[in-house]
Chains A and B, each alone.
Chain A
């Protein structure tokens, strides 16, 4: 009886070893491809202020000027990547929010001083803060 148990254990042990050696060989044959993990390109919101002598500034024109400035600075590739949009603009407070993403927010911040005028009105766009949520950006804008 004891002999039988020892035989069974030996057979199980040998089968396990054979399985492991085959598995290792098959893994060695497979080409090793490094697994790249891309961070998700999440949204970023830039709260900005407009300094100008004129109060009536058209939002569409301002967005157009921001996009043109970015394209002039870094080209169409970065314009498409960052895709800046003025999502909220409050003419009373002369401040607004630009929507962009994590990859391109630095490009947008760098391009803001290149916006010199909107509809021949001299303006200065001053970035105040960059946040990850629109709710917080709205809160900052109201402050």
Chain B
């Protein structure tokens, strides 16, 4: 069972099913009976917005812009996953990464908006034991990544094949199962 953890356009579901994905997390929730997610971005930690999203039954993903908000999000159990991209790569220092590993937080990398350097850094973090998830987060057809391409892309950037498979197959599934258990 292959899970795409970020989908911005519900119309892409048939295409993703053709490629081999079987479950999806749709940004903002959708009409289709799948689990919705909400990605929040803020300098200051948005307790209210997180409460609102959590009460609506969405999975909360947070993209921190400052060190304080990253520390808060690591310790907040309502937020299931932290988004890593070009803008907040510098926040991921060793002590915080260790804390994230201990807390079992997932880190999501958006392939469509991340440079090769970010993906390479995410691979390093994954090698240290962080639960890394790679998602294409597509809003149109040309932004979709097939699982084989994802795997080979990670291999080219220096990941080992067992770990790359874990990041593409196992961790998204774990995230999805945790979310399903919450419903």
**Which of B111, B144, B152 is in CB contact (< 8 Å) with A124?**
B144
Q: Does B18 have its Cβ within 8 Å of any Cβ on chain A?
A: yes
Q: Does A113 have its Cβ within 8 Å of any Cβ on chain B?
A: yes
A52 to B18, CA, bound (A): 12
List chain B residues, Cβ under 8 A from A110: 149, 152-153, 155-156
CB distance from B88 to the nearest CB of A (A): 23
How many chain B residues touch A (CB < 8 A): the figure is: 20
Dominant SS among interface residues on chain A: mixed
**Which of B18, B142, B144, B148 is in CB contact (< 8 Å) with A127?**
B148
- A100-116 CB mask vs B (1 if < 8 Å, else 0) is 00000011011011001
Q: Does B19 have its Cβ within 8 Å of any Cβ on chain A?
A: yes
Q: Does A62 have its Cβ within 8 Å of any Cβ on chain B?
A: no
Tell me whether A126 and B156 are in contact (CB under 8 A).
no
List chain A residues, Cβ under 8 A from B92: none
Q: Does B140 have its Cβ within 8 Å of any Cβ on chain A?
A: yes
**Which of B15, B149, B155 is in CB contact (< 8 Å) with A112?**
B149
- B143-168 CB mask vs A (1 if < 8 Å, else 0) is 11110111011011000000000000
List chain B residues, Cβ under 8 A from A122: 140-142
Q: Does A9 have its Cβ within 8 Å of any Cβ on chain B?
A: no
Tell me whether B153 and A126 are in contact (CB under 8 A).
no
**Which of B18, B116, B146, B155 is in CB contact (< 8 Å) with A113?**
B146
